[in-house]
Amino acid sequence: MLDRPGAMTLPLFEDGFGRRVLALDPDGGEPIERLSFSPALAQVDEFAPALGDLVSRYASARHASYLRVRRVDRPDAGELVMVSDRVAGWRLSEVLRVSAREHLKVDLSAVINVLRQLLPAVTLFSRHQKDLGIGNVAPERLLITPQGRLVIVEHLLGAALESLHYSRERYWRDLRVALPPAPRISPRADATGIGLVALSLVLGRTLDEDEYPERLTELIESASETIDGTSRPLSAGFRSWLSRSLQIDVRTAFQSPREAQVAFEAVLASDRAYVTSSPALEEWLRRYAALAGSPAALVFAATEDSPAPPSPGSTREPTLSGSRSPAITPVVLEVPESALPASPTATGFDEAPAERNSTKIVSAVPRPSRAVAVLAAVAILEATAIGWLWLRDPAPPLSTEGELVVQTRPQSARVSIDGEERGVTPLTVGLSPGTHVLEIRVGRSEPRVIPLTIRAGVQSSQYIELQSVPTTGGLEVRSEPTRASVTVDGRARGSTPLTLRDLPPGDHEVTLQTSGGKPVKQVVRIEAGVTAQLVVPLAR
């Protein structure tokens, strides 16, 4: 199928933004994804410059949670194309569409797994862009790989979306972009997008056109959670979190992804049933793949009866056909069982440029060119790899390490992993891929125990709000002789004997000095909820 004269492309996905196709990069020859924006966007005067500026600043950025955007092209005056790397996986909206059609329930553990990847990833973006958000966080802009890794795509559209100056209703109707009542592309908008993804996962489907924002309260109140095949009403804490994310009441709404992340961890801490389980997510994806096509094939979403792209001079605005996502027809590349590898080899999904060996699809075309032959070869090899991913026996963990970032409130909580003391928060450690048990303790309080799964080449984040625990420690200071002056971190605190109750956890420098004597300095480690003792003999 030709996207433009002389360029061999294959359809992947289409929505109000435009048409995505698989192609070969003319410079390096590797597979890429090209988003040809609809004329209604490409011909907006401010859209292209705003997009190009952000892409130029972040084209060299690499992170496993984001699909790298390479560049923006202008093939013709009326065309605008964004070129990105290609990752093997499915749009979350397509997984939800098939799940809804086949009445496939999404286990709450899988929902939590996805959100625990999404929240820190979006929070990371907001730390670098203080006022501007991603803006278009939604199931249509999230990829999920066969191994359950979430990848955010098309994340550099924020400034370009802001330049459209649409109403809140039009952003949703035309582009499936969920914004707060004040329709700005801001961190608050990203909190709204996170809420949209969470609600879609809990419902097991994407939202209809007439459900946002009018029916949000009704949907949240009717939502249920499925745990090990049993459904129950959504907990009050989770319902409240969804309402705050989706800006139901602007007075209590989250202002940023960071606020949403902190509150989400508090919800998880309130119910022992709220655990993260990678097997639940992987099982959901396996069942989806079996429903969408054969296990020895990778299924991509191609728009059913897709009309030809509007001409550059067309003024027709893009809309989403139907009441949900665009109608989808699976396009499948079958791979003979004999083509599967005889023995497994290590296949990892590393930091960007991520998953260059991504499975692709090809269709028969007359008189194949060299580009077609290359695409076909890539497709066969990569479909074979995906087939092996679904059919293989469990393989030993990959040798490459993953990374775990642990943050707590209050800070300086002690961290143990698999029974081994690893330090205090904030803490970043490298861990072998596989399951681990994280323990967080403040002082002598009961530890928080969190099971987690580490993946090779992927940074996982845990933020734990520790409630009802002491946030300061104490220090008893005595000296011989008494009445020595005491300073802590350069601040005078009294004379010995002295007891302090308000020291934050961590190391503190304590200085004692008698009248006319030399100062004596000691470093004391303070733990929350614990009173340390310091006895210092002083020269007379």
The predicted-structure confidence for 323-350, as pLDDT tens digits, reads as follows 333 333 333 333 333 333 333 232 222 3
Write down the pLDDT at residue 70.
93
Which carries the bigger pLDDT value, residue 467 or residue 12?
A: 12
Task: Grade residue 455 by pLDDT with cuts at 50, 70 and 90.
Answer: confident
Write down the pLDDT at residue 130.
67
Q: Is residue 387's pLDDT more than 60? A: no
CA–CA gap between residue 478 and residue 509 (Å, rounded): 15
Q: Name residues whose C-beta falls within 8 Å of residue 253's C-beta, 6 or more positions apart in sequence.
A: 180, 188, 191, 244, 245, 247
How much is the average pLDDT of 393-416? 71
- Cβ 403 vs Cβ 56: under 8 Å: no
CA–CA gap between residue 175 and residue 16 (Å, rounded): 5
CA–CA gap between residue 533 and residue 473 (Å, rounded): 11
Write down the pLDDT at residue 297.
34
Token pair belonging to 480: 């011989």
Model pLDDT for residues 191-221, shown as the tens digit of each residue: 999 999 999 999 999 999 999 999 999 999 9
The CATH code of the domain at 473-537 is 2.60.40.1120
Its pTM stands at 0.61
Count of other CB atoms within 10 angstroms of residue 165: 10
Write down the pLDDT at residue 343.
30
Q: Can you spell out the DSSP letters for 420-473?
A: EEEEESSEEEEE-SEEEEEEEE-TTSPPEEEEEEE-TT-EEEEEEE--SS---E
The b-or-e profile of 434-446 (16+ CB within 10 A means b, else e) is: eebebbbbbbeee
Model pLDDT for residues 80-91, shown as the tens digit of each residue: 999 999 988 899
For the chain, what percent of residues have pLDDT higher than 70? 77
CATH fold of 402-465: Immunoglobulin-like (2.60.40)
Q: For the purposes of burial, counting CB atoms within 10 Å of the CB of 361, is it exposed (0-12), middle (13-18) or buried (19 or more)?
A: buried
Q: Is residue 451's pLDDT more than 90? A: no
Write down the pLDDT at residue 68.
92
Model pLDDT for residues 130-178, shown as the tens digit of each residue: 678 999 999 999 999 988 889 999 999 999 999 999 999 999 999 999 9
Write down the pLDDT at residue 396.
40
Domains 402-465 and 473-537 share a fold: yes
The beta-strand segments (E) located in 290-367 are 299-303, 328-332
For the chain, what percent of residues have pLDDT higher than 90? 41
Rounded to 5 degrees, what are φ and ψ at 218? -60, -40
CA–CA gap between residue 463 and residue 52 (Å, rounded): 34
Average pLDDT of the residues of the chain: 78
Token pair belonging to 204: 């097991």
Question: What are the sequence ranges of the domains in the chain?
Answer: 2-284, 402-465, 473-537
Q: Is residue 17's pLDDT more than 90? A: yes
Write down the pLDDT at residue 275.
73
* Domain 2-284 superfamily per CATH: Transferase(Phosphotransferase) domain 1 (1.10.510.10)
Q: Is residue 393's pLDDT more than 50? A: no
Nearest CA among 402, 396, 388, 262 for reference residue 335: 388
